[in-house]
Amino acid sequence: MSADHHTIVHGQAALLDIANLDTDQIMPKQFLRGIDKSGLAPGLFYDLRFDGEGLPRPDFVLNQAAFQGVDVLIAGSNYGCGSSREHAVWGMQQYGFRAVVASSFGEIFYSNALNNRLLLAMVSEADVQAFKAQAAQLRGPLAITIDVQQRMVRSAGHSAQFVLSDRHQSMFLQGQDVIGASLAYADQIQAFAQRHWAAQPWVKDVALRTRARLQAQRTQD
């Protein structure tokens, strides 16, 4: 079971050893039709989890009895590459994942995950291999501890430092309101915009003015 705080994640990890696993595969298109964030757990890894008839694939790790309730994923490199869809992150969390351990992540996925407090522990490829080797020997999940303060991932037999910026660390630990923090700069943003538009008047209201011009053209036609 996971601890209910964010300082240390005590997790049970499953291995999904696929490089460049893109967000289309994490959350396929047919699950992107909502206007809210809910209902995404059934779509997670859909084509990997289910066959053409919608039946669970028995060989897929998350369908095996021993792996029910896992909350950490040990993934291949460049995990979450491709589409910007944040649904991939929401779906992982709704399924129950709290953290992903991999040697690299897709760039947009990385920001999306940290904005939602899905912990990404970026370790070296050698460390991933070590965890993978351990996980592969088990019939069930690998018990893993992620110490966010120390930036350490530990299993019974291996420990590894992971990369996490100070900013992302405090976002994960404290669950900050990023927009609220940026709105504290509202006066500076406004002053910047005035200077910026004075120097580059052609960018001010560029969308609104373009739309109005196109509308006027159509009325003329």
Partner 1 sequence: MTTPSTLYQKLVASHTVAVLDEQNVLLFCDLHLMNEYTSPQAFAGLHEAGRGVPVPGQNVAVVSHIIPTHPVRWRTIQDPPSALQATNLKANCDRHGIPLFDTNDPLQGIEHVIAPEHGMVRPGMVIICGDSHTTTYGALGALGFGIGTSEVEHVLATQTLVYRLAKDMRIRVDGVLPRGTTAKDLILMVISRIGAQGARGYVVEFCGSAIGALSVEARFTLCNMAVEAGARGALIAPDATAIDYVLAKAPDIAGDVRAQALAHWATLHSDEGAAFDAEHVFDAADVAPFVTWGTSPDQAMAINATVPRPQELADAVQRSSAEQALRYTGLVAGQSLQGVPVQHVFIGSCTNARIEDLREVDRIVGSRHVAHGVRAMVVPGSGAVKAQAEAEGIAERLVAAGFEWRQPGCSMCLAMNDDVLAPGQRCASTTNRNFEGRQGRGAITHLVSPAMAAAAAVTGCITDVRTLEVPA
- The residue ranges that bind partner 1 (CB under 8 A) are 17-20, 22, 24-25, 28-29, 32-37, 47, 52, 76-78, 81-86, 89, 104, 106-109, 111-112, 115-116, 165-167, 178-179, 182-183, 185-186, 188-189, 192-193, 196, 199-214, 218
Question: Across-strand partners of 56?
Answer: 50
Q: Least separation, in Å, of the C-beta of 145 and partner 1? A: 26
Q: Which is nearer to partner 1, 107 or 149 (CB)?
A: 107
Q: Which is nearer to partner 1, 136 or 204 (CB)?
A: 204
Residue 57 in tokens: 């694939």
Q: Which is nearer to partner 1, 12 or 127 (CB)?
A: 127
DSSP notation for 174-212: H---HHHHHHTTHHHHHHHHHHHHHH-GGGTTHHHHHHH
Residue type, 147: D
Q: Least separation, in Å, of the C-beta of 215 and partner 1? A: 9
CB 14 within 8 A of CB 131: no
At residue 133, φ and ψ (nearest 5 deg) are -60, -40
Q: Which is nearer to partner 1, 29 or 68 (CB)?
A: 29
CB 89 within 8 A of CB 150: no
Q: Which is nearer to partner 1, 65 or 179 (CB)?
A: 179
Q: Least separation, in Å, of the C-beta of 1 and partner 1? A: 28
Any residues with CB less than 8 A from the CB of 101 and at least 6 apart, and which?
Answer: 13, 72, 73, 74, 75, 121, 123, 128, 131, 144, 146, 153, 162
Q: Least separation, in Å, of the C-beta of 208 and partner 1? A: 3
Q: Least separation, in Å, of the C-beta of 10 and partner 1? A: 26
- Among 121, 110, 145, 118, CA closest to 40: 118
